[in-house]
Chains A and B, each alone.
Chain A
Amino acid sequence: MAAVIGQPLKRREDPRLITGSATYTDDVRLPGMLQAAFVRSPHAPARIRSVDASAARALPGVVGIFTHEDLADFWKAPLPCAWGAYPLLKNPAHWPLAKGVARHVGDPVAIVVADSRAAVHDAIQQVRVDYEPLPAVVDLDAAVAPGSPRVHEDLADNISFTFDHKTDGVDAAFARADHVVRRRLRQQRLVPNAIEPRAVVADYRRADGQLTVWAATQIPHLLKIFSSGLLGLPEQRVRVIAPEVGGGFGSKLQVYPEDIATMAAAIHLGRPVRWTMDRREEFTSTHHGREGVMDVEAAFTRGGEMTAMRVNWLSDMGAYNMLNGPFVPILGFLVLPGPYRNRELEAHIKGVFTNKTPTDAYRGAGRPEATYLLERLMDLAAAELGLDPVDVRRRNLIRHDEIPFTTATGMTYDAGDYHATLDLALKAIDYAGLRREQASRRQAGGKLLGVGFSTYVEACGLAPSRATSSSAYGAHLYESALVRVQQSGAVTVITGSSPHGQGHETTLSQIVADRMGIPVDSVEVLHGDTQNTPIGLGTYGSRSLVVGGQAVVQACTRVQDKMRLIAAHKLECRPEDVAFGDGRLFVQGAPTRGVAFAEIAATANLGSHAGMPEGMEPGLEATAYFSPENFSFPAGTHVCVAEVDPETGRVRIRRYLAVDDVGVVVNPLIAEGQVHGGVVQAIAQALFEDLPYDADGQPLGASLMEYAVPTSMDVPDIESAFFVTPSPSNAIGAKGIGETGTIAGTPAVVNAVIDALAHLGVRDIDMPLTPPRVWRAIREAGTGGSSRPFAESGEGGRSA
């Protein structure tokens, strides 16, 4: 039988998706179902003086309009923050509907329920809310300055949390430094924009108090647990189903105000209620990603070796701590050392409340920020020291023979060859040839050429319990699986993880088929319904294969152990001599002595008891849970070749190559797809997307007409290659792939653009690198001015 692992099998989920027969949450139709919509604050902070719903209530089809107070009996607890136990975190109450004060544009103030979409949209226009606008906190520096207005009036300041870390030798290393690179680097605000709008359908059966919820979520089990807690329902009376989910990128890893408010309305009214977001609501009510400022300084030797790094990081939480919002920069902290040898690190992270939409995980979650910082530093050091950016990286990259390597943040990199991925990438792109072309183009005038690198390592497979518990995170992030062999030999795998486009049904089938020696088509994978899946923590953090896949392996192994006993009984051999392959169980070394997989399945499930060893229970199924001992560490090298039109500032990516070591690749088709999508989201951050706010806390360009999600015309083809060092963290050897693109890609693109302009003296451009910004950087570099007054570097010494 041909190997199944590593085969580019077509996805098993696709037939329903390409024929329009899949069911997403908004496709759920229930008898008597009502439609909900939200009245949202048009102001950043505003006191809610009164809500007059009388006109709206009088409209045809309107069933109910509820504020926080109207549903007060339902709110048993505020919305969750998983990092609530961290002693240095302040966690002001965040209610599903604003209580007294709305804190950002889009903060839900009331839920309106009517018998149709049209009626509910008519009604929300007619709810009159009397707001008293309050001063807005928008800018991060201003938010932490003394005397700033406060986002939460009951807190002393706008600091959500602080996190500090310092190794012993930092100050000495800076004192000895030949050169110090200093910069302020910015992460703009990104809007996830999964193409499926968020949606929830809540159906409450009064007769027995059963609440059934369909939700576009990455975390059905967590949503069930929190819903029952927040609404005071017995856990066994809440069932959450994640049907087909149309993308998430972290944005559906959340317990949203609208989810809980819709459930409360359904319970209150005793009728099914559906809420489906309008796209415009994505821009103010779905959690955003990234925004932060990082003041960094790094000590280097003349030869380009980094000897210490200091980071002051203000990370924008927006108006509330969301489920994982404060933990996002902490994830970034974990990989601040990157793939580099430097072990001296000082990091001070502050979570900052502002009157903007809350932030939380967005593809990469913290690690793109850390990687951007490091990879910009490598290029800046090269430019300031007169070295090649590749040579600087080589000088700092941990060598294969130094692994396992424990970093300044306590991560132990357990497998990887960072130099090898760089070598592969350089060979593929003809680096010397590109440098020659760059030089000749600079001579010739016209479009300029730049090459940008990003050598990265990320921590995936969230997460080892020792890491979550030592950091006061509120859960250990295990995953689960049930494997059941049915009487025909068909295998059902039930995973606790919950995909939204990742192809679990295909990949997990391949793993089971490989281990059991059966056709992939005889394996089915079920997921997403809390009523019949073992508890799992969901799909995010590149964890489904690394953690969820390992749970499948373990459950599979248990079932196989039992099958071996039965086979050994039938074949009269030792169980440890029984092997699986070609749909049979056979004696190792004597393949003709075997029995069909289906026969063992039949025997165990239905067959004559005579075929079973004495005293053995019938049935063939096992459930397993896996909590990893270590993160997995995907790593690699991304290279971007960009052309810049110096007259207009337009950037065109000519070539993008990703060489990723994500460990063993189970399905290359799916793996490449993850790289392509991730890289394009990285390009989007580097060149296109941004949601700025004005001084009053109004978002600017908050629609798909202005917020520049790239189209097919705006991005290049992506070349993807894999280099494999198996991860020891799981039996599959996988490291995780969902986030490599966004983590590695953004600095590769930015570095390429700045490299193209380096001879003009351009060193920094804030993201996104839009034509106006690129043009301005060129112009100001040419006139000796600087668009970045704070962007200074200098020889030696240390800053304050």
Chain B
Amino acid sequence: MIPPAFEYVRAASVDEALAHLAKYGDDARLLAGGHSLLPLMRLRLAAPRVLVDIGRIRELAYVRAEGGELAIGALTTHHAVEQAAAVATAARALADAASVLGDPQVRNRGTIGGELAHADPAADYGAVVLALGGTVTAAGRGGRRTVAIDDWVRGPFTTALQPGEILLEYRAPAAAAREGSVYRKFARRASDYGMVGVAVRLGLGADGRCTSARIALSCVSDQPVRAQAAEAALAGRAPEGDAVREAAAVVLQGVRVADDPFCPADYRTHLAQVETARAIAEAAARARAA
């Protein structure tokens, strides 16, 4: 269908965008790539009165490695994330996710900021940023503030972003030596949302034991989940054999697992365990090579 009518304003800068948001308040929605919002509007499931197009704020499209961190501007497309050399070395799991997210056309338009702000529980980046750690920076009328990634998602389609704020940047700690990350997505069909997505970031000591482990999953519940019990199972152990099995076994401990006719909860739980074990092995291999 044709989307419902709306007023369209374009922001050339973050300040302009903030001014529009201040002016229109709850009536306004930000439009970046539009690949989450426009389909909802075409199905008439969303009807914002004003669209504030921030897609041309070029200052928000960047990937930079600086001071042991990887900084990605909110309007960086998935394709740019997938292609960026800095992402491949500093946060490989992000490139993994960017390469399996949607399809080539979607990756050309969709942005990391849009994906993080939309906070779809099935979105691939949701798990990746939780596993990588780091922060999200937002701007509002009162200035800028930074939110720890663990505090970012507050519920299904809900984030720490306040009304009137714009997401500016995601910043991840860059991979150090003997550190590796991976994102594995299991979908029924190419381009689909996953049935399970698992992101793992591992650091290994010289003895091959885990010095750090962060594990997170998307598509398994009503929001991305961090698997702290699984992380604990790996702590100080070599990521192989029983350690991996034990970590995988508790990966969804305490999680209310999504259940639908095409992916029942028991299967999803099992799949998360299988994929977690595989992701740990891949992350470990990458860490050893790093």
A-B interaction: yes
Residues of A in contact with B (beta carbons under 8 Å apart):
117-118, 121-122, 125, 278, 280, 647-650, 688, 692, 700-701, 705-706, 708, 710-714, 770-772, 775-776
Contact with A along B261-279 (1 / 0, CB 8 A): 1111001001100110000
Asked whether, in the complex, the Cβ of A117 is within 8 Å of the Cβ of B2, the reply is yes
- CA of A125 to CA of B270 in the docked complex: distance in angstroms? 42
Distance to closest chain A CB from B235 (angstroms): 25
Contacts of B192 in A (CB 8 A): 705, 708
Asked whether, in the complex, the Cβ of B271 is within 8 Å of the Cβ of A648, the reply is yes
- CA of A121 to CA of B191 in the docked complex: distance in angstroms? 28
- CA of A776 to CA of B190 in the docked complex: distance in angstroms? 22
Cβ-closest chain A residue relative to B47: A125
Contact with A along B239-280 (1 / 0, CB 8 A): 000000000000000000000011110010011001100000
Cβ-closest chain A residue relative to B44: A125
Distance to closest chain A CB from B195 (angstroms): 7
Picked from B190, B261, B264, B267, the residue with its CB within 8 Å of the CB of A711 is: B190
Picked from A121, A649, A711, A772, the residue with its CB within 8 Å of the CB of B189 is: A711
Distance to closest chain B CB from A714 (angstroms): 5
Asked whether, in the complex, the Cβ of A776 is within 8 Å of the Cβ of B5, the reply is no
Distance to closest chain B CB from A232 (angstroms): 33
Q: Does B290 contact A (CB under 8 A)?
A: no
- CA of A708 to CA of B186 in the docked complex: distance in angstroms? 15
Q: A280-B43, A772-B267 are in contact. Are A648 and B186 (CB under 8 A)?
A: yes
Distance to closest chain A CB from B122 (angstroms): 11
Q: Does B188 contact A (CB under 8 A)?
A: yes
Contacts A121-B1, A713-B190, A775-B270 known; 10 new A-B pairs at CB < 8 A: A118-B2, A122-B5, A647-B274, A648-B274, A705-B193, A708-B188, A708-B189, A714-B189, A770-B188, A771-B267
Q: What DSSP secondary structure best describes chain A's contact surface?
A: loop
Distance to closest chain A CB from B242 (angstroms): 17
Asked whether, in the complex, the Cβ of B4 is within 8 Å of the Cβ of A122, the reply is yes
- CA of A775 to CA of B269 in the docked complex: distance in angstroms? 12
Picked from A125, A705, A714, A776, the residue with its CB within 8 Å of the CB of B267 is: A776
Contacts of B191 in A (CB 8 A): 711, 713
| B190-222 with Cβ < 8 A to chain A | 190-193, 195
Report the 9 A-B pairs with minimum CB-CB distance, sorted nearest first: A713-B190, A772-B267, A118-B2, A121-B1, A711-B190, A708-B189, A647-B274, A121-B2, A117-B2
Asked whether, in the complex, the Cβ of A770 is within 8 Å of the Cβ of B4, the reply is no
Asked whether, in the complex, the Cβ of A118 is within 8 Å of the Cβ of B5, the reply is yes
- CA of A121 to CA of B4 in the docked complex: distance in angstroms? 8
Asked whether, in the complex, the Cβ of B270 is within 8 Å of the Cβ of A706, the reply is no
Q: What DSSP secondary structure best describes chain B's contact surface?
A: loop
- CA of A770 to CA of B262 in the docked complex: distance in angstroms? 8
Asked whether, in the complex, the Cβ of B274 is within 8 Å of the Cβ of A772, the reply is no
Contacts of A692 in B (CB 8 A): 261
Contacts of A711 in B (CB 8 A): 103, 189-191
Cβ-closest chain B residue relative to A122: B4
Cβ-closest chain A residue relative to B42: A278
Contacts of A650 in B (CB 8 A): 186
- CA of A648 to CA of B189 in the docked complex: distance in angstroms? 14
Contacts of B5 in A (CB 8 A): 118, 122
Most interface-central of A125, A650, A714, A772 (chain B CB within 10 A):
A772
Residues of B in contact with A (beta carbons under 8 Å apart):
1-2, 4-5, 43-44, 103, 186, 188-193, 195, 261-264, 267, 270-271, 274-275
Contacts of A278 in B (CB 8 A): 1
Distance to closest chain B CB from A654 (angstroms): 17
Distance to closest chain B CB from A39 (angstroms): 13
Cβ-closest chain A residue relative to B262: A701
Contacts of A770 in B (CB 8 A): 188, 262
- CA of A700 to CA of B5 in the docked complex: distance in angstroms? 29
Contacts of A708 in B (CB 8 A): 188-189, 192
Q: A700-B261, A706-B262 are in contact. Are A771 and B189 (CB under 8 A)?
A: no
- CA of A656 to CA of B175 in the docked complex: distance in angstroms? 43
Cβ-closest chain B residue relative to A116: B2
Cβ-closest chain A residue relative to B195: A771
- CA of A121 to CA of B188 in the docked complex: distance in angstroms? 32
Asked whether, in the complex, the Cβ of B262 is within 8 Å of the Cβ of A772, the reply is yes
Distance to closest chain B CB from A726 (angstroms): 40
Contacts of A118 in B (CB 8 A): 2, 5
Cβ-closest chain B residue relative to A649: B267
Distance to closest chain B CB from A84 (angstroms): 36
- CA of A278 to CA of B188 in the docked complex: distance in angstroms? 24
Cβ-closest chain A residue relative to B263: A772
Cβ-closest chain B residue relative to A710: B189
Picked from B2, B44, B188, B193, the residue with its CB within 8 Å of the CB of A771 is: B188
- CA of A510 to CA of B5 in the docked complex: distance in angstroms? 52
- CA of A595 to CA of B270 in the docked complex: distance in angstroms? 79
Contacts of A714 in B (CB 8 A): 189-190
Contacts of A122 in B (CB 8 A): 4-5
- CA of A648 to CA of B191 in the docked complex: distance in angstroms? 19
Distance to closest chain A CB from B114 (angstroms): 17
- CA of A771 to CA of B44 in the docked complex: distance in angstroms? 32
Cβ-closest chain B residue relative to A712: B190
Q: A688-B188, A688-B189 are in contact. Are A775 and B267 (CB under 8 A)?
A: yes
Contacts of B1 in A (CB 8 A): 117, 121, 278
- CA of A648 to CA of B188 in the docked complex: distance in angstroms? 11
Distance to closest chain B CB from A321 (angstroms): 28
- CA of A701 to CA of B188 in the docked complex: distance in angstroms? 13
Distance to closest chain A CB from B33 (angstroms): 17
Contacts of B195 in A (CB 8 A): 771
Distance to closest chain A CB from B202 (angstroms): 21
Provide 18 A-B residue pairs closer than 8 Å at the C-beta atoms, listed in order of the A residue: A118-B5, A121-B1, A122-B4, A122-B5, A125-B44, A648-B271, A688-B188, A708-B189, A710-B189, A712-B190, A713-B189, A713-B191, A770-B262, A772-B262, A772-B263, A772-B264, A775-B267, A775-B270
Distance to closest chain B CB from A215 (angstroms): 21
- CA of A434 to CA of B60 in the docked complex: distance in angstroms? 55
Distance to closest chain B CB from A656 (angstroms): 18
Contacts of B271 in A (CB 8 A): 648, 771, 775
Distance to closest chain A CB from B130 (angstroms): 23
- CA of A692 to CA of B264 in the docked complex: distance in angstroms? 14
Distance to closest chain B CB from A278 (angstroms): 6
- CA of A246 to CA of B189 in the docked complex: distance in angstroms? 24
Contacts of B186 in A (CB 8 A): 648, 650, 771
- CA of A775 to CA of B192 in the docked complex: distance in angstroms? 20
Contacts of A280 in B (CB 8 A): 43
